[in-house]
Structure formats: structure tokens, C-alpha cells
């Protein structure tokens, strides 16, 4: 039972970090004139890139910490700071990217930008490394797969979700998720400090 609870906790965590509604709004706003086939090709490319990067980090991320002479607890503090900054931007409604500029980019460039840094940015990479150490690769990978698969569904059926998700709704969701992200960032920082200085 605890494994199921932890899985759903991780799904919620990665849903907050990846923030599919915000990435979806960037996706549709940057492709105003693309037809359904073009959007689906770009969506497939973006999600594939996000999957690939996420699972590379999942498999090799902790080894990179040793390579750069740091440990999980130190990285946890750094990750908490990143999550805090991301959460503040989300809560205050700061734009994640310059849409006017990105509308001029090619479809592949837009897909790459959505894959990283929007979906798998520094906060996601940090969270993947820490979660894999705390919960294991299998459980963390399953949660990542679930969230990115649902994100892919949103992108693939963008014409339907455009009618459901307004910019106002996305902003409200992002604000709430931003506050949650800040609280997780604070939790990661305090946990890392306790592990380093008090144990």
C-alpha cells in the first residue's frame, strides 16, 4: 500500500514540476498556424526528447554528482533553491519564455524548447535525481512516464484541450502549483541542511 501512496505522491510532484498546462499553452501559442498533423509531429518530438532526457538523468544522474564531487544532500539544497525560484515565478505569473520570439522558430526548435527547459528543466532534473535516491529508479521512472504520457495526450489532442483550458484557468493552476513548488523547495532545503549539519 505504501508503494501505491508513494507513486501517487511522485505523480503529483512531477505534475507540479513539469507543469503540463503551462507547457501546453506555450505549445499552442507558438504554433498558431500549424495544422493538426504538424502539431502532432512536433508534440511527438517534444515528448520523445523530454522522455529521453528524463530517463538519462534517472539512470545516470546520481553518478554525475560523484563526478562533480558533490552528494545528494548538497544537491538537495541546491535543488530546493531552484524549486523555490521556479515556484515564485509560477505564483507571480512570470512568463516562462518569450512567445513572440518563439513563434518565429521552426517546429523542431519549438519542440526542443518545450522538451527542455520547459518540461525537463533544472528543477525537473534536480527532482528526478533526488526522487530516484529517495524512492528508487522504478517508482520514480513510473511516475515520470505517467506524467509525460498525460502531457503527450494533451499535446496530441490540443484542439480539444484548447477549448477546455483558458489562459485564466492555466494562470490560476500555475499560481497554486507555484505555492506548492515553493513549499517543496523549502522542504528540500531544510532536509538537506539537517542531513549535513545535524546528523
Beta strands in the chain (DSSP E): none
Q: Which structural domain, as residue segments, surrounds residue 164?
A: 2-197
In the chain, which stretches have pLDDT less than 50? 99
Residue 139: which residues within 8 A CB-CB, separation 6 or more?
3, 6, 7, 10
Task: Give the per-residue pLDDT at 138.
Answer: 94
Count how many domains the chain has: 1
Task: Give the per-residue pLDDT at 61.
Answer: 81
Task: Give the per-residue pLDDT at 81.
Answer: 86
Distances from the Cα of 171 to the Cα of 65, 66, 94, 164, 182, angstroms: 35, 39, 10, 14, 16
Cβ distance 169 to 86 under 8 Å?
Answer: no
Task: Give the per-residue pLDDT at 76.
Answer: 81
Amino acid at each position: 500500500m505504501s508503494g501505491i501512496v508513494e507513486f501517487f505522491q511522485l505523480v503529483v510532484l512531477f505534475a507540479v514540476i513539469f507543469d503540463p498546462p503551462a507547457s501546453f499553452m506555450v505549445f499552442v501559442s507558438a504554433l498558431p498556424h500549424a495544422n493538426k498533423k504538424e502539431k502532432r509531429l512536433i508534440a511527438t518530438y517534444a515528448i520523445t526528447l523530454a522522455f529521453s532526457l528524463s530517463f538519462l538523468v534517472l539512470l545516470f544522474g546520481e553518478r554525475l554528482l560523484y563526478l562533480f564531487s558533490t552528494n545528494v544532500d548538497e544537491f538537495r539544497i541546491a535543488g530546493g533553491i531552484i524549486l523555490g525560484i521556479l515556484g515564485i515565478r509560477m505564483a507571480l505569473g512570470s512568463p516562462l519564455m518569450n512567445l513572440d520570439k518563439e513563434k518565429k522558430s521552426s517546429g523542431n526548435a519549438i519542440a526542443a524548447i518545450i522538451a527542455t527547459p520547459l518540461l525537463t528543466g533544472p528543477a525537473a532534473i534536480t527532482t528526478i535525481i533526488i526522487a530516484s535516491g529517495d524512492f528508487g529508479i522504478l517508482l520514480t521512472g513510473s511516475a515520470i512516464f505517467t506524467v509525460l504520457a498525460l502531457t503527450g495526450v494533451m499535446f496530441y489532442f490540443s484542439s480539444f484541450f484548447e477549448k477546455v483550458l483558458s489562459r485564466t484557468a492555466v494562470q490560476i493552476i500555475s499560481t497554486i502549483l507555484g505555492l506548492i513548488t515553493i513549499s517543496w523547495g523549502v522542504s528540500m532545503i531544510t532536509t538537506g541542511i539537517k542531513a549535513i549539519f545535524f546528523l
